[in-house]
A and B are shown apart, each in its own frame.
Chain A
Amino acid sequence: MSHSTAIRLDSCAKTFPNGAKALDPMSLTIEGGETLIFLGPSGCGKTTTLRIIAGLESPDSGGKVLFDDEDVTKLPIEHRNVGMVFQSYALFPNMNVQQNIAYGLKIRKVSITDITQRVNEMMEMMHIGELQDRSIDQLSGGQRQRVALARAIAVRPKVLLLDEPLTALDALLRERLRVDIDSLLRSLGITTVYVTHDQAEAMSLGDRIVVMDRGQVAQVGTPREIYFEPQGEFVADFIGTMNRMQGTVTDGRFQTRGGSLPIPHANEGPSNLLFRPENARIVPVAQAPLSGTVASVFFLGDKSRLIISGITDGHITIDAENSETFNPGDPIGLSVDTQHLLFV
């Protein structure tokens, strides 16, 4: 496999001309060949960061962008050799599918035979061969998405940048294209930066995830680290479903409204305890360390999601096997193993 470009951001901040601060100084290294995901709610600065890497925005003075060891901070996007896929795809309506894919090659003055060969290769790879003469407004959302990817990859860019590429598609199609994009990225081995607000997308595609919140990096880590060891409340709440219990720790036990749990090595005093729905076990009420009342039940097919009140001030969400049926109003007992509990 050919060499993949590493990207380095060196204290890149962004303040817009109207004074809005989009990004606090960020330093980050993206390894060659890695797929890095910027994940966060809208307005967290993830797209701004991507646009700084692309060269569509320049960082505030002092910030630097490096591709391998080359400083590209001053280089506009057209000289950075990046491939980019936009949320709205930005396909050219005045060109057909084939011409769209060929455009970058034409600019690079590649010979006609080589262009034809490369375009055919791309269309085959993205399974859009028979769309070559279609105009853009004759394409479905999923097809546009494939054309946009093919166009970005055709020029053999140093890095591939994707800005919410699946957001405009419906759920079923999103899932299928996610699989396609995943195998595509694995086979290309190209350094990829991917922006999304969808945590499922981030989890399944990312080698590493950068969770962002209000212009700052909240956590950088592998999907597993982010999921199992969230640092801070924001990450814990943003990724997956997280239950939160308010209480106090006394004598090695966490006390809350609906009972108590053993907590070794915890600081005494008021604290919050977090756990995920799948980590709670349903136990007979008589022996349960935590007990409450079922508030609502959602049948999900393979399992049921129970919303439980009375354990803490808010609700607790857990998943239950369908072997046992619950109805609103039933008493219920829960236990959570110590290793699945998170302190904040």
Chain B
Amino acid sequence: MNRNYRFYLQLTFTIVVCAFLIVPVVMSMMAGVTENFIKGISSGITLRWIFEVWDLYRDTIFLSLLIAIACLICTIVLGVPAAYVLAKRQGRVARMIEELLTLPLAIPGLAIALALIISFGGFREFRSSWVFILVGHVIYTLPFMMRSVLAVLSTADFRTLEEGAASLGAGFWRRFFDIVIPNCRTGIIAGSLMVVTLSMGEFNITWMLHTPVTKTLPVGLADSYASMRLEIGSAYTIIFLIMIMPLLIALQHYGKPRSPNTRPVEDDVESPLPSTSGQRP
């Protein structure tokens, strides 16, 4: 309990850093509920701007949700089996693909979007639908899902678990759905939260791919900052934060690398058979 000046120095530093990060967000949120930002909070507090955003940009919110959910489904359907195959293969090719998975993170979103437009821009129906944006989001988020699942697959001894299931008569699909999928649940949950969060907030790719009728929330946000009153942009931010916060908190909770709980309970050598009461000391 000997708190010397070092402790207070560290505390102050932490508080300053946190304030640096949080104060602008709070300021922005305050602006969203202020009657007139130029006059300041004394002009009164209102929910007017939030309702206005709802009227103007409601569609972008629903589109963002739609794309995020569709994107999640795609990344699970594509990413989980792909991660499984990569984890099972020992060869050099598999390791190379694993390395390549980080590539979309290194390439700017604009470049991915441009590549998509060059490749598929000619298909007009496709180009002008929200599915085009979905494709961009899937390309961007798939590596996150795969890496998250791969991390779980590489910690547990899935090979032996599968052999155990096979010895009991389970064919490939039974093993995959009974043993592999349930045991990578933590990886899939962590990956899913990541995918939804990233998809909801994605701007770079979406901004390039969107059309006037396929605007997502972040694109709408940029639009409102550029063309509306500051209060409306800020109110929009509040809505975005309300949507994304629960996801971020859940991500914190489930996304933590879990310590593999494989250490068995101590054997009680003295009493050979487990006690009949079924209770352990």
Instruction: Give A contacts to B, CB under 8 Å.
Output: 54, 56, 76-79, 81-84, 86, 88-94, 103-104, 107-108, 127-128, 130-131, 137-144, 151-152, 155, 161, 169-170, 172-173, 176
Contact = CB atoms under 8 A, between A and B. Distances in A.
A76 B178 CA distance: 19
A82 B262 CA distance: 27
Given A127-B273, A137-B262, A172-B269, A82 B167 contact: yes
A141 B262 CA distance: 10
B274 A91 contact: no
B183 A92 contact: yes
B187 to A, nearest CB: 13
Contacts of A84: 163-164, 167
30 contacts: A56-B163, A78-B168, A78-B169, A78-B171, A81-B169, A84-B163, A84-B164, A88-B157, A90-B164, A91-B164, A94-B185, A103-B165, A103-B170, A107-B168, A108-B169, A127-B274, A130-B278, A131-B274, A131-B278, A138-B265, A139-B265, A140-B265, A140-B267, A142-B267, A143-B267, A144-B264, A161-B167, A170-B267, A173-B269, A176-B272
Contacts of B157: 88, 90
Contact of B164 (A86, A128, A155): A86
B183 A94 contact: yes
Nearest to B183: A94
Interface of B: 156-157, 160-161, 163-171, 174, 178-179, 182-183, 185, 261-262, 264-269, 272-278
Given A94-B182, A104-B169, A173 B267 contact: yes
Given A88-B160, A140-B266, 19 more contacts: A56-B166, A78-B169, A78-B171, A83-B167, A92-B179, A93-B183, A94-B179, A103-B165, A107-B170, A108-B169, A127-B273, A130-B276, A137-B261, A141-B267, A155-B168, A155-B169, A161-B167, A172-B269, A173-B269
Contacts of B179: 92, 94
A124 B235 CA distance: 65
B40 to A, nearest CB: 57
A270 to B, nearest CB: 50
Contacts of A155: 168-169
B274 A130 contact: yes
Contacts of A79: 169
A93 B156 contact: yes
A92 B164 contact: yes
A89 to B, nearest CB: 8
B160 A86 contact: yes
Given A140-B267, A142-B267, A169-B267, A103 B182 contact: no
Contacts of B266: 140
Contacts of A81: 169
Given A94-B179, A139-B265, A151 B274 contact: no
Minimum-distance CB pairs A-B, first 4: A90-B164, A104-B168, A130-B278, A94-B182
Contact of B166 (A76, A88, A89, A139): A76
A200 B264 CA distance: 25
Contacts of A143: 265, 267, 274
A78 B178 CA distance: 15
Nearest to B185: A94
B167 A152 contact: yes
A82 B166 CA distance: 10
B164 A140 contact: no
A141 to B, nearest CB: 5
Contacts of A93: 156, 183
Contacts of A127: 273-274
B274 A128 contact: yes
B160 A151 contact: no
Contacts of B262: 137
Given A86-B160, A151-B168, A141 B264 contact: yes
A90 to B, nearest CB: 3
Contacts of B161: 90, 92
A233 B125 CA distance: 80
Contacts of B160: 86, 88, 90
B174 A107 contact: yes
B261 to A, nearest CB: 5
Contacts of A176: 269, 272
A335 to B, nearest CB: 41
